[in-house]
Structure 1
C-alpha cells in the first residue's frame, strides 16, 4: 500500500534517509560512495531502508558509527569536501539528489529500490555527482537520469 502521509510516500523519505546516511558515512570515513555502498552490502542496505523511519529519529552520527563498525568500514583517502572550491552541499542535499535518481531508475527499470541504489552508486554518475567542483549535483533530475541511462555526460 502506497498511502501518503504528507506530500510524498513515506518510503521515499526512507530512501532519502538511506542515501543521506551513505553520504554521511562516506564523508566521515573519507571513502567514495560506491565503496561505502559495497561495504554495507545489500542486506545492510535493505535493513537501513526498511528501518529508516526509526533510524532517522536517532542521531545520525551514532547511527553511522554503528554501521561503520558493523560493516568494518576503514578510513580511506577520498576527500571531495577538502578539494571543493565552493560551498559544500550537505549530506542531506546529496541524499536528495541520489533519492530522486534511484527512485526513477527503480521505477523505469521495474527493479527494487536497493538494486537501483547499488546500480546508481556503482555507476559513473556517482563520481560526477560527488565532484562538488562541478555542477552535476545540482542538475535537473531528468538530466541526471538521462546521463545515467546513456552512461555518459550529455
Structure 2
C-alpha cells in the first residue's frame, strides 16, 4: 500500500501494527470497543494515520491517544475490556499484545488486492472480535494461525 503523502514510500506491517496498537489504547482509555474507534475515525482518516504511523510511533503514546480522541471527537462509553472474571482470566493482554493480534489477523486474512485500511475496517467490524476481546476465554492467546482459521470459519 502506498503512503498517502509520499508515493515512493510503502506503508508496511509495522505501520499497521502501530495503528492497531493505538486503536486498542484509545478504546481502553475511552471505554469503547475497538469497532467504535475504527468506525468513528473512518476510512480516509485511517489511511492518513497509516501514512504517518512511521512518524507517530516516535511520539508519546499518551499524547497520540489524546490527539486522536480530540481530533476524531471520540466520546467515552461504558465498555471496560479489562473488567474480567479473575477466576477465568489470569492474564490481561496489553494494548501492544492486542495490536499484534489484530495486525497479524488483518495480514493473515487479507483479501485479494485489499489494502490495510480495508483490512482494518473488515476485521474490526467482524463478530469474531467479540470473542477475541472477551479475555475470559483466552482466545487472544491462541497462535495467530488458529485465530485466522477461526476468523475464516466464523467461530472458534
- What is the TM-score when the length of structure 2 is the normalising length? 0.87
CA contact (8 A) 2:27 2:37 kept: yes
Q: Which runs of 5+ in 1 are unaligned?
A: 2-8
**What is residue 23 of structure 1 aligned with on the other side?**
24
Matched, 1:104 2:108: yes
1:149 and 1:82 map into 2 onto residues whose CA distance is 28
Per the alignment, residue 4 of structure 2 pairs with: none
User: Counterpart in 2 of 1:146?
Assistant: 149
Q: 1:67 to 1:112 in 2, by over 3 A?
A: same
- The number of residues matched between the two structures is 146
Greater displacement, 42-51 / 13-22: 42-51
Residues 57-91 of structure 1, C-alpha deviations (whole Å, 9 max, x = no match): 00011011111111111100001212252221110
User: Per the alignment, do residues 101 and 81 of structure 1 end up closer, same or farther by CA in structure 2, a change over 3 Å counting?
Assistant: same
State how far apart, in whole Å, the 1-side matches of 2:117 and 2:139 are.
23
Segments of structure 2 that go 5 or more residues without pairing to the other structure are 2-9
Answering whether residue 39 of structure 2 is matched by residue 38 of structure 1, we say: yes
Structure 1 length-normalised TM = 0.88
Shift of 1:135: 1.4
Partner of 1:6: none
Partner of 2:49: 48
SS in 2 for 1:87: coil
Q: Is the 8 A contact 2:11 2:51 kept in 1?
A: no
Give the RMSD, CA atoms, in angstroms. 1.9
Moved over 3 A (4+): none
Alignment partners' CA distance in 2, 1:17 and 1:103? 14
SS at match of 2:109: helix
Q: Deviations over 1:130-149 (max 9, x none)?
A: 11111110112111111111
